[in-house]
Structures are given as structure tokens and as C-alpha cells.
């Protein structure tokens, strides 16, 4: 019996030794410091001007942090006003394998304006690359690059004082240049017998453009005369000193027993060349309703959708009249949506 016990013990020891020899060591991957990330820019003083909106302003290139092993990283470009310690940076996600971001002059200028930087004044930005293993882990930052640039006011306006509004530049309708490139457009409603006007760069008479020959204008020209009464789309090119006017193919009005004109007479809205919406301030009564008509014709009219109403959209078909909650003076805005203009955004606010 003693011999059997001894043999069993010896066999058990051999089995344990065999199991121990077969056990595989655990392999662990540990993130190490590795190589720090880096950021470079094609320039530290991008030249911004209205004359080169589509040209490249700056190209930013990053090299992500290396963690000592192969890993998929999340890379983000951070841009902040210098001196804010990146407390609230603008962040731009960079796709894997494409750690380069280029801005045109217009895009970079828009970025500066969106950060509420003053126009015409040099401003300093700080940029860095943020690299991480996840949204919360292994976050590392590159070196900081300082860039100095002077943003400019992108949207520009000129003004159209004339007989239709009493020849007063301070209250005249404006024409807008969305990119500040010297070409200005907008809609002006000329009144019967009051067709003469001029163009002023500011809301005063210091400089005024008038008509020369053909469609030319100059600061020594005579009064410009609209082709007729009604709403015209006006284009002024101060690069070529020209003006063109064509009748508007779509204009909008209110009609209904909520208005003074009732269902038999339209009340025209005015196009706001700054906000690019049609608008009117008008007395309305709660005992009536109204609709919006295109070109004084029932072929296209807008009202509250019978189905799918969201409280901010009108529809051009299958719609109800627009109700008025209480008597009073209202500011109404209207803007067709999409290429087919089947819907329109609107607001109706009691003043």
C-alpha cells in the first residue's frame, strides 16, 4: 500500500509539472509615450482679401501621436483664439490617413468671422492636433502653431435712393453682395411715376452713381430710370460700372378677409435684400384668415398644410387658410423652400 501511495504522489507531481510547463504567459499591450504628434502650416500669415476668395489661404498638416504600437487613432484639429488656452476651441475632425486640412480664403475668412473676430484688425489664432485612442482615453496634443490673419467683412451693401422712397439714402433699399466681390443684387419695387433713382455706396449722398450710356454708370452720371413700375431684379457691377434691371418673375402678396383688402385685393410684400426673405408689417383681424399668393394669381398660393404641419412651414397645395390668433399689427416673413417652391418657411409675429 505504501508503495502504491508513493507512486500516486510521484505521478501527481509529474502531471503538475507538465501543466505548468504548458501554461502560456499572458501577452499585454501597454500604451507608451512614443513619438509626440506635430503640426505644421503652409504659412503663419495667410493673406485674406475679397479679390482672391477661391485661392488657397492655408494648408495645415498633422502627424499624430505614436503610442508605441500599431493603433487606430482619432485625430482632431483644434483652433482657438490666442490666449484662451484652448478653453473653447473650434474642432475639425480629420479622417484617418488624411491629416491635411486646406482652407480657401473665403472659408478661412468665414472661420474667423464665426469666431467673432473683428474685421480689418489682425487677429492671432493658435492651432494644435489632438490625438486620442478613444473619445476619452490616451489624449495627447501636438505642438502649438500661431497664425496671424486679418478677416474682412464678407457681405457688402450698396443703396438705392430714389423717387420711389423719397430720395433718402438713410432709408433706401439695399443691394447685397454675398461674397463682397463688387457685384450687388436685389429686388426694388418701383412705383408708378416714381422711376428715377441713383446708387450710393453708403447711406449718404457723398458719392452717388448715375446713368451714362447704355447700361453704364458713373459718379458723374444722371438719374437712372427703371424700365417701368413694379418689382425689378437689379444687378450693379462696380467692377465694370454697369447696371441691369429685369422684371421679377415671382413676387408674393397677402390676400384674405384678415387683411384690409379682403379676398378681392392683394397686399404686396417687400423683398428684404439683406435677409433674402419676403416680408410685411400689416394690421390683421382675428375674425378672418389669409393666404399668400404668387404674382397676384390663384395658380400658386400658400396656406397651412392640412397634414404634416410643423408650425413653421406653409404648403402650396392641399392647404388651409392661415388663421390669426388676435387682432393687431403683425410682422410676416415668407421664404419659398427648394427648387420646386412647393413649401415655404414663414413667421407671423404680433408686434
First to last CA, the chain: 109
Residue with cell 486640412: 101
Check residue 119 and give its pLDDT.
Answer: 87
Greater confidence (239 vs 8) lies with 239
**Dist. CA 226–CA 316, nearest whole Å:** 32
Window from 97-101, 165-169, 173-177, 207-211 with minimum mean pLDDT: 97-101
Structure letter (DSSP) for residue 306: S
Q: State the pLDDT confidence band at 136, using cuts at 50, 70 and 90.
A: low
CATH class of 156-247: mainly beta
Check residue 8 and give its pLDDT.
Answer: 46
Check residue 70 and give its pLDDT.
Answer: 63
Q: What percent of the chain is predicted at pLDDT more than 90? A: 65
pLDDT of 322 above 50: yes
pLDDT of 169 above 90: yes
State mean pLDDT over 224-248. 97
Check residue 318 and give its pLDDT.
Answer: 87
Question: Pairing mode, if any, of strands 230-237 and 224-225?
Answer: unpaired
Report the range out of 121-135, 249-263, 312-326 with the highest average pLDDT. 249-263
Domains 38-149 and 252-350 share a fold: yes
Decide if 233 contacts 248 (C-beta within 8 A): yes
What is the CATH architecture of 38-149? Sandwich (2.60)
Cβ neighbours around 182 below 10 Å, total:
16
pLDDT of 3 above 90: no
| Dihedral-angle region of residue 133 (phi above 0 means left; psi in -120 to 50 means alpha; beta otherwise) | alpha
Q: State the pLDDT confidence band at 90, using cuts at 50, 70 and 90.
A: confident
Greater confidence (154 vs 196) lies with 196
Per the structure block, which three cell numbers stand in for 16? 503538475
Greater confidence (31 vs 35) lies with 35
Check residue 308 and give its pLDDT.
Answer: 64
Check residue 331 and give its pLDDT.
Answer: 95
Check residue 4 and give its pLDDT.
Answer: 47
Check residue 303 and give its pLDDT.
Answer: 95
Encode 32-44: b = buried (16+ Cβ within 10 Å), e = exposed: eeeeebebbbeee
**Dist. CA 227–CA 1, nearest whole Å:** 127
DSSP element (H, E) containing 110: helix 105-114
Task: Tell me the H-state helices in 53-165.
Answer: 105-114
State mean pLDDT over 150-171. 94
pLDDT tens digits along 245-291: 999 999 999 999 999 999 999 999 999 998 889 999 999 999 999 99
Check residue 309 and give its pLDDT.
Answer: 59
pLDDT tens digits along 329-345: 999 999 999 888 899 99
What's this model's pTM, rounded to 2 decimal places? 0.62
pLDDT of 29 above 50: no
Check residue 180 and give its pLDDT.
Answer: 80
Instruction: Round the average pLDDT of the chain to a whole number and report it.
Output: 87
State mean pLDDT over 65-78. 76
Non-local CB neighbours of 130 within 8 Å, separated by 6+ positions: 75, 76, 77, 78, 91, 139, 140, 141, 142
Q: State the pLDDT confidence band at 135, using cuts at 50, 70 and 90.
A: low
Classified by CATH at the fold level, domain 252-350 comes out as Immunoglobulin-like (2.60.40)
Residue ranges covered by each domain of the chain: 38-149, 156-247, 252-350
For the chain, what is the radius of gyration of the CA atoms?
A: 34
Q: State the pLDDT confidence band at 195, using cuts at 50, 70 and 90.
A: very high
pLDDT of 49 above 80: yes
DSSP element (H, E) containing 58: strand 56-63
Amino acid at each position: 500500500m505504501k508503495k502504491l501511495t508513493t507512486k500516486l504522489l510521484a505521478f501527481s507531481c509529474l502531471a503538475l509539472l507538465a501543466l505548468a510547463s504548458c501554461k502560456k504567459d499572458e501577452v499585454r499591450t501597454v500604451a507608451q509615450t512614443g513619438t509626440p504628434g506635430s503640426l505644421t502650416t503652409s504659412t503663419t500669415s495667410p493673406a485674406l482679401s475679397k479679390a482672391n476668395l477661391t485661392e488657397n489661404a492655408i494648408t495645415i498638416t498633422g502627424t499624430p501621436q505614436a503610442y508605441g504600437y500599431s493603433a487606430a487613432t482619432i485625430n482632431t484639429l483644434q483652433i482657438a483664439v490666442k490666449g484662451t488656452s484652448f478653453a473653447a476651441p473650434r474642432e475639425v475632425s480629420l479622417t484617418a490617413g488624411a491629416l491635411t486640412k486646406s482652407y480657401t480664403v473665403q472659408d478661412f475668412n468665414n472661420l474667423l468671422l464665426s469666431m467673432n473676430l473683428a474685421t480689418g484688425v489682425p487677429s492671432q489664432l493658435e492651432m494644435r492636433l489632438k490625438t486620442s485612442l478613444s473619445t476619452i482615453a490616451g489624449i495627447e496634443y501636438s505642438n502649438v502653431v500661431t497664425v496671424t490673419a486679418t478677416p474682412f467683412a464678407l457681405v457688402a451693401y450698396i443703396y438705392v435712393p430714389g423717387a420711389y422712397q423719397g430720395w433718402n439714402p438713410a432709408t433706401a433699399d439695399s443691394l447685397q453682395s454675398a461674397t463682397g466681390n463688387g457685384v450687388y443684387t436685389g429686388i426694388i419695387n418701383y412705383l408708378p411715376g416714381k422711376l428715377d433713382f441713383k446708387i450710393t455706396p453708403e447711406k449718404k449722398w457723398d458719392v452717388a452713381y448715375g446713368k451714362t450710356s447704355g447700361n453704364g454708370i458713373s459718379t458723374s452720371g444722371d438719374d437712372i430710370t427703371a424700365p417701368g413700375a413694379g418689382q425689378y431684379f437689379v444687378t450693379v457691377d462696380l467692377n465694370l460700372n454697369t447696371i441691369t434691371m429685369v422684371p421679377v418673375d415671382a413676387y408674393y402678396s397677402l390676400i384674405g378677409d384678415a387683411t384690409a383688402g379682403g379676398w378681392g385685393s392683394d397686399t404686396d410684400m417687400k423683398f428684404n435684400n439683406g435677409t433674402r426673405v419676403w416680408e410685411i408689417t400689416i394690421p390683421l383681424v382675428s375674425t378672418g384668415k389669409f393666404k399668400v399668393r404668387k404674382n397676384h394669381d390663384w395658380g400658386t398660393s400658400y396656406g397651412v398644410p392640412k397634414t404634416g404641419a410643423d408650425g413653421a412651414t406653409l404648403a402650396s397645395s392641399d392647404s388651409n387658410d392661415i388663421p390669426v390668433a388676435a387682432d393687431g399689427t403683425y410682422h410676416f416673413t415668407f421664404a419659398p423652400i427648394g427648387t420646386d417652391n412647393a413649401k415655404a418657411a414663414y413667421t407671423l409675429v404680433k408686434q
